[in-house]
């Protein structure tokens, strides 16, 4: 019997749940987890070489290393330490048995808990109650001697432990080979946002070595683009993204220099793209997917459209030309701007400004962080050109506001 399109509630439920696991865009969700460690770390090649230099003697039977890695949130400190431990174990597998333990001192915030975590990783059945610090360290020595292995201990967010327990554990770990036969039992890597060397006692600094401090800077836009490209290649269906889209995401994350930010933005764009899929949708990331506000972020620049209200009418015409192209494309050249600006001037029956004036408008837009520019070599290597993009605003929304403002001016 004809039912006028009515469907049982169970049918509706089934249809909306069909979205789960559809995977039109997303192929491997694990890649977008912040704890995911890729096989190759990108954007940090120079820092990796610097870290490796601190462990130049690790191949020798009695060799050991020390390093202090500091830098802002999202600069890749933890991934740097984890990938190094993984890679050095593989690299020296035929020369020396190496084990590594990674302890997050935000979770194990006292020296006792840190040692207990280390022992639990090395010997899961080891008792962690009722033993003094001295007894725990003696157990650690005994396990390492018995296995004839070298241990790399990574103390992540070590400042949390230092604030609660001081640096005595570091001193004990650094002199773990004293009064023992042989050397090179243990290497130590400290990871922190803060400059932890400033709060260590002189004896600890002397053993760690003040020259073993590695300062990690925020990621550049190129580094963030490399991360976005790596995650897209490993996590998305082939052909659902372009290098221009990834560049736009990297530019949007660039003010923070935070790897987590670029991964979060890419993941949010993928979720938006998956959400809007139907039989008529183009199954690839689009400009609009990039500008979906994240649930945990404050009002973004993209929602502050009144930022352009004080522009003069000619500057608005230039910006409108930009917005109309960037609604469909991820970037455009300065030559494109002047061509489209001519079309907009004709539409509004206004006389075009000079090339120099248009260039000044573009510089002003960049200073206001409305657009971002980058210089690239022209295909074939003949000359260079400037590419403009709009990572912090949704061009379509900005164009709508400009058209509303221009109607009042002309």
What is the pLDDT averaged over residues 175-179? 78
In-domain check, residue 29? no
DSSP code per residue over 237-263: -TTS--HHHHHHHHHHHTTTT-HHHHH
User: Is the pLDDT higher at 1 or at 318?
Assistant: 318
Based on the fold, state whether residues 232 and 195 are members of the same structural domain.
no
Find the mean pLDDT for residues 139-168: 91
387 and 327 in one domain? yes
CATH number at residue 290: 1.10.8.60
31 in a structural domain: no
Same domain, 160 and 273: no
- Residue 102 pairs with which residues in a beta bridge? 154
For residue 310, what pLDDT is reported? 92
Asked if residue 19 has pLDDT above 60, the reply is no
What span, in angstroms and rounded, lies between the C-alpha atoms of 64 and 148? 14
343 and 260 within one domain: no
User: Where are the alpha helices (H) located in 291-394, listed in sequence order?
Assistant: 313-326, 334-347, 355-367
Helix (H, G, I), strand (E, B) or coil at 286: coil
The residue written with tokens 């494309």 in the block is: 329
Task: For residues 251 and 227, state if they share a domain.
Answer: yes
When pLDDT is cut at 50, 70 and 90, the band that residue 18 belongs to is low
Q: How confident is the model at residue 256 (pLDDT cuts 50, 70, 90)?
A: very high
Please indicate, yes or no, if residue 38 is contained in any of the structural domains. no
- pLDDT tens-digit series, residues 33-80: 988 988 899 999 999 999 999 999 999 988 999 999 999 999 999 999
Residue 401 falls within a domain, yes or no?
Answer: yes
Choose the final residue of a domain: 265, 297, 329: 297
Count of structural domains within the chain: 3
Residues 68 and 198 reside in one and the same domain:
yes
Give phi and psi for 188, each to the nearest 5: -135, 130
Please name the residues in contact with 210: beta carbons below 8 A apart, sequence gap of 6 or more. Answer: 197
Question: Which residue segment(s) compose the domain that 285 sits in?
Answer: 220-297
| Whole-number Å distance between alpha carbons of 215 and 164 | 24
Q: What does the block give as tokens for 376?
A: 């690239």
Task: Compute the chain's Rg from CA coordinates.
Answer: 28
What are the angstrom distances between the C-alpha of 27 and each of 30, 224, 246, 264? 9, 21, 17, 16
Question: Confidence class of residue 377 from pLDDT cuts 50, 70 and 90?
Answer: low
In this structure, the answer to whether residues 155 and 248 fall within a common structural domain is no
Q: Which of 215, 242, 262 is the last residue of a domain?
A: 215
- 189 and 54: one domain? yes
Which CATH number is 49's domain given? Answer: 3.40.50.300
Same domain for 72 and 197?
yes
pLDDT band, residue 124 (cuts 50/70/90): confident
Residue 280 inside a domain? The answer is: yes
User: Which ranges of 110-154 would DSSP assign to H, the alpha helix?
Assistant: 111-122, 133-147
CA distance 343 to 340: 5
Query: Is residue 242 assigned to a domain?
Result: yes
Contact 396, 288 (CB under 8 A): yes
pLDDT of res. 8 = 54
Task: Give the span between the Cα atoms of 62 and 43, in whole angstroms.
Answer: 32
What confidence category does residue 350 fall into, taking pLDDT thresholds of 50, 70 and 90? very high
Say yes or no: 259 and 175 in one domain: no
Lowest mean pLDDT among 71-75, 182-186, 319-323: 182-186
Q: Assess whether 224 and 211 both reside in one domain.
A: no
Region 174-199: what's the mean pLDDT?
82
User: Do 135 and 153 belong to one domain?
Assistant: yes
User: Is 135 within the bounds of a domain?
Assistant: yes
């Amino acid at each position: 019997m004809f039912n006028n399109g009515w469907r049982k509630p169970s049918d509706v439920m089934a249809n909306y749940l069909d979205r789960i696991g559809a995977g039109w865009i997303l192929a491997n969700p694990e890649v977008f987890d912040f704890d995911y460690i890729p096989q190759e770390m990108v954007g940090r090649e120079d820092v990796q070489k610097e870290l490796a230099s601190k462990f130049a003697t690790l191949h020798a039977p009695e060799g050991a290393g020390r390093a202090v890695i500091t830098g802002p949130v999202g600069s890749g400190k933890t991934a740097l330490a984890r990938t190094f431990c993984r890679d050095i174990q593989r690299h020296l597998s035929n020369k020396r048995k190496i084990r590594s333990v990674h302890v997050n001192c935000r979770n194990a915030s006292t020296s006792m808990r840190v040692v207990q975590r280390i022992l639990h990783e090395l010997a899961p059945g080891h008792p962690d109650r009722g033993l003094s610090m001295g007894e725990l360290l003696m157990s650690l020595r005994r396990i390492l001697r018995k296995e004839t292995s070298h241990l790399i201990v990574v103390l992540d967010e070590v400042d949390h432990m230092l604030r609660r327990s001081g640096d005595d554990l570091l001193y004990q770990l650094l002199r773990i080979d004293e009064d023992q036969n042989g050397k090179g039992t243990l290497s130590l890597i400290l990871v922190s946002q803060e400059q932890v060397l400033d709060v260590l006692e002189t004896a600890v600094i002397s053993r760690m070595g003040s020259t073993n401090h590695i300062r990690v800077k925020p990621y550049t836009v190129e580094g963030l683009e490399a991360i976005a490209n790596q995650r897209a290649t490993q996590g998305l269906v082939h052909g659902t993204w372009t290098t221009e889209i990834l560049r736009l995401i990297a530019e949007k994350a660039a003010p923070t220099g935070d790897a987590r930010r670029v991964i979060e933005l890419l993941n949010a764009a993928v979720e938006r793209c998956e959400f809007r899929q139907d039989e008529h949708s183009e199954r690839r990331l689009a400009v609009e997917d990039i500008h979906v506000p994240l649930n945990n972020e404050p009002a973004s620049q993209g929602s502050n459209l009144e930022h352009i209200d004080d522009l003069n009418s000619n500057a608005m015409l230039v910006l409108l030309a930009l917005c109309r192209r960037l609604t469909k494309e991820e970037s455009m050249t300065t030559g494109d701007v002047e061509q489209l600006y001519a079309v907009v001037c004709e539409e509004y029956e206004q006389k075009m400004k000079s090339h120099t004036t248009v260039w000044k408008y573009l510089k002003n837009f960049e200073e206001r962080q409305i657009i971002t520019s980058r210089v690239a070599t022209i295909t074939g290597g003949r000359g260079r050109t400037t590419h403009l993009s709009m990572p912090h605003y949704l061009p379509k929304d900005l164009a709508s506001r400009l058209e509303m403002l221009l109607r009042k001016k002309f």
